[in-house]
Amino acid sequence: MKDIYFKRLYAVDKIIIAYLTILSVLILFSTERIERWYLFIIIHTLASLFFVALAKWIAPWLGTAGRYIRGWNALLVIPLTYKELEYLIPRIHPRDYDWQLAAIDYHVFGVHPTIWLERWLWPPLTEFFQIFYATYYFYPLILGIVLWRKGWLVKFHFWVMILMLGLLTSYLGYLAVPAIGPRFILADQQTQPLTGIFLYEVIRTTLDKAEGITRDCFPSGHTELTLLVLYYSWRFHKPTFKWFLIPCSTIILSTVYLRYHYVVDIVAGFFFALAIVLTANWLHRKLGGEEVSNF
C-alpha cells in the first residue's frame, strides 16, 4: 500500500510538536527555577523544525530509507522527552502530591493498598511481577512491528500516533500532579520488604537507574499504555491480542503490588486511555490522517 502520508507531517508529528510547544510555554513561566531555561526552548524549537524538515525535504530525498526513518523516528522522542522530566517537573511544579493520592486510596479502601498487600507477598510472585513489569516497554513496539510487516501503513501510523498521544498526555499528567510513589513515602509503614529470587534486584535497580526519580505516578503510564496496547491489538490483529492479554494484565496488577503506584493512579490511567480511545479517530482525521478501518 502506498504511504499516503509521505512528504507531509504525520498526525504524530503534530502531536509531538504540540507537546514540545506546551512544555516550552511551561518552561517560560518557570524561568526563575530553571537554569539555562533558554536551552530547553532552543532544543524544543529545533526538534520541531527537524520534524518539519524531515517530512518535507529529508525523508523524500532519502527515498526508502526516509520512509523507514519517518515511520519509526518517534521512538527516539520517547526516552528524550521522558528523561528531561526528571529535571523539569520539580522546577515547573515544585510540589509533590503523594500524600493527597495516598489519602484518596486510604479513604476508598480504609487502608493503604501496598500495606494491605503485604499479606500476599511471596518472593516467586514478586519475581514474576517484576519481570513482567519490565516487559511493558516491548508491547507497543511489537504491535507496531506487526502492523508494519503486514503492510498496514495507515494503521501503523495511527498506532504510532496513539502511542505518543498516550505517553505525552501521561507526561502532562506528571507535570500537573507530581508524585514519587508509595514505595518512597510509605516505606516507614511497610513492615515487609519486597524480595525476589534471581532477577528481582537486578531488574528493579536497572529500572531505577534508567528512569531516575521522575515523579511519574499520576496517571499510571504502565496502565494507560498497556490498556491502549490491548485495545488496539484486539482491534487490529486479534492473534497478537491473544498473546498480549495475560502478560499485559499482569503488568497492570504488578503496579500496586510492586509499590510503584497508588490505586488512584491506575484508575486515572484507565480514564486517560478511555479518553484517547474515544477521541482518537476524530483527532486523527483532524490532524490530516486517513480513516482507519477496524480490521
DSSP per-residue string spanning 241-262: HHHHHHHHHHHHHHHHHTTS--
Cα separation of 121 and 200, whole Å? Answer: 13
- Report which residue type is found at 112: H
Task: Return the pLDDT at 37.
Answer: 97
Segment 69-91, tens digit of pLDDT: 999 998 889 999 999 999 999 99
Segment 221-241, tens digit of pLDDT: 999 999 999 999 999 999 999
What is the DSSP code string of 29-96? TTGGGSTTHHHHHHHHHHHHHHHHHIIIIIHHHHTHHHHHHHHHTHHHHHHHHHHHHHHHHHHHS---
Is 272 part of any domain?
yes
pLDDT higher than threshold 60 for residue 49:
yes
Q: Is 32 exposed, middle or buried (0-12, 13-18, 19+ CB in 10 A)?
A: exposed
Q: Which residues contact 49 (CB under 8 A, 6 or more apart)?
A: none
- Check if the beta carbon of residue 177 is closer than 8 Å to that of residue 85: no
Cα separation of 233 and 239, whole Å? Answer: 8
Cα separation of 262 and 43, whole Å? Answer: 34
Cell of 85: 522530566
- Check if the beta carbon of residue 153 is closer than 8 Å to that of residue 289: no
Cα separation of 122 and 249, whole Å? Answer: 19
Is 170 part of any domain?
yes
Count the neighbouring beta carbons within 10 Å of the beta carbon of residue 210: 11
Task: Return the pLDDT at 2.
Answer: 42
Q: Work out the average pLDDT over 122-148.
A: 96
Is 293 part of any domain?
no
- Check if the beta carbon of residue 215 is closer than 8 Å to that of residue 89: yes
Domain count, the chain: 1
Is 111 part of any domain?
yes
State the average pLDDT for the chain.
Answer: 94
Which has the closest alpha carbon to 163: 245, 239, 228, 234? 228
Task: Return the pLDDT at 294.
Answer: 60
The single residue listed with the C-alpha cell 493498598 is 113
Which has the closest alpha carbon to 163: 292, 26, 285, 277? 277
Is 211 part of any domain?
yes
Segment 175-228, tens digit of pLDDT: 999 999 999 999 999 999 999 999 999 999 999 998 888 899 999 999 999 999
Q: Work out the average pLDDT over 264-280.
A: 98
CA pseudo-torsion sign 201, 207, 210, 215: negative
Cα separation of 245 and 241, whole Å? Answer: 6
Is 262 part of any domain?
yes
Task: Return the pLDDT at 99.
Answer: 97
- Check if the beta carbon of residue 174 is closer than 8 Å to that of residue 89: yes
Task: Return the pLDDT at 3.
Answer: 45
- φ, ψ dihedrals at 156, nearest 5°: -60, -50
Is 4 part of any domain?
no
The whole domain housing 209 covers 11-286
Cα separation of 203 and 210, whole Å? Answer: 10
Is 295 part of any domain?
no
Cα separation of 184 and 187, whole Å? Answer: 5
DSSP 1: -
